[in-house]
Structure formats: structure tokens, C-alpha cells
Amino acid sequence: MSKNNQNDIDLEGLQAGIAKPNRRGFLALVGVGAAGVALAACSSDNATSTTSTTAAAAGGGSSTTAKAPGTTAPSGGGDLEVAALAAGLEVLAVNTYGAALDAATAGKLGAVPPAVAEYVTTAKAHHQAALDAWNGVLTGAGKPAVTEPPKDLEATVNGEFAKVTDVGGAAALALMLEEIAAATYQKAIPTLQSKDAIELAGSIQVVDAQHVAILLFVSGQYPVPDTFASTEKAAA
């Protein structure tokens, strides 16, 4: 995140720590979310909205200009369905991180540690880049860009976000989203046909899994708890 953006956030009186996320709550939410995304994947309406996302890419502490792996339009319909699903998830992530930044700026999350503020801005920019990449795949194949998240999952996340009152709660929600995203990409990879789509999904899976590790660390948990990454929380 840029220093200017960081200064916009209340950094006074930094909190001593972040509450551990409620993983049981995550799982319940993931279950609802998975159903929602699965429905979204089956609905062309969710991929054809022209409503623009409210979130804009922010300049993060890390590069957001790295070239995405090839975004040549895949020939298979299955790849395009995955692209639309992925883009919808990315819209949701961008919007959620944007909302977290807005809430932090408004002082609704209490004091925000600088590392957390930096993380949120960086992760939001990463997801915006991923969204742009997937939309490049879709528009390259003559499909409309995805600009809205899956409705059901969005409603669920918004409901959970309404309960967030501090940085710990926001981190917990972010962790849930990142776990879903990483698992969704991991699950999709063996099903994808296009080389470019596989490379793009893999390159994003890596970064989302890394988001998970750092969120676990700042949440007071071991950053690499699993020996093998699971697809259990995948959205479809």
C-alpha cells in the first residue's frame, strides 16, 4: 500500500493483537458460499452483469504490474466456466477488501496495525489483477467480463462483514475468502484444458495460498498447518 493510503487509516493506538478467527464459523460460511458459487457457475446471468465493481485497484506495497500468465482465450467451454467462476470470486475479494479499507478508514475497525493495512491494500490489488486477467480470458473468447460477485456468496459475505467490529474479525473474513479462492483454483487445475488457463490458475493459487499463510500468522496461528493443500473449501 502507498504511504498516503496508509496515512488515511487510523493507525493511532495500535492494537496489541488480533483475535483468533473463528474457524468453525468459516466452515459454516464456506458451506453456504460453495453452494452459492456453484449456483453462480451455472447461471449465465452472473457472468453478464454490466454493473461495475465498486472497488478500484490500489497501489500496493508489492508490484501489481507483473504480467499475468498467458490469457489466450481457451477453446473449451469448461475452461470458460472456470474463468467466469474465478472472476466472480475475484470481484468478491476485491469488493470485500475494499469494504475493509473503507471501514478502517472510517475508524469502524478500531486501530489498524500497519502490517494489516499494508496486507489489505496489497491483497486487494492482487485480486484486482487476477480479476483483470480472468476477464481478459473471457473477453478474448467473446464473453462478457464479469463485474459482479456470485449473489448468494456476496450476500453471505456481506452478512458476515456486517458483524465485523475489529481487525481480527476482518482478518478472519479475509482468511475465509483466501482459503476458498486458493482451494477453488487448486481444484480447477486438473480440469482445465488450456495451457494458459492452467498457468494462470496456478500462478494465482500460489499467491492466494501465500495470503492464507500470512493471515494465519498475523492471526496467531501456524502459517503452514497442512502438509497437503486441500480442495475441501473449493467453491465449486
Q: State the residues that interact with other proteins by CB under 8 A.
A: 1, 6, 14-18, 60-64, 66-69, 111, 113-122, 125-126, 129-130, 133, 167, 182, 186, 189-190, 195, 198-200, 202-207, 209-214, 217-224, 226-231
Residue 46 or 219: the one with the smaller Cβ distance to other proteins is 219
Residue 156 or 172: the one with the smaller Cβ distance to other proteins is 172
Residue 142 or 190: the one with the smaller Cβ distance to other proteins is 190
Q: What DSSP assignment string belongs to 142-158?
A: TPPPP-S--HHHHHHHH
For the beta carbon of residue 222, count every other beta carbon within 10 angstroms.
9
Helix, strand, coil proportions of the chain in percent (round to 5)?
60, 0, 40
Residue 59 or 158: the one with the smaller Cβ distance to other proteins is 59
> What minimum distance in Å lies between the beta carbon of 37 and other proteins?
19
> What minimum distance in Å lies between the beta carbon of 47 and other proteins?
22
d(CA 132, CA 196): 15
- Could you tell me the CA-to-CA distances from 19 to 22, 188, 225 in Å, in that order? 9, 32, 18
d(CA 197, CA 74): 7
> What minimum distance in Å lies between the beta carbon of 196 and other proteins?
8
Longest dimension (CA), the chain: 54
The alpha-carbon radius of gyration of the chain (Å, integer) is: 17
> What minimum distance in Å lies between the beta carbon of 64 and other proteins?
6
> What minimum distance in Å lies between the beta carbon of 151 and other proteins?
26
Residue 218 or 235: the one with the smaller Cβ distance to other proteins is 218
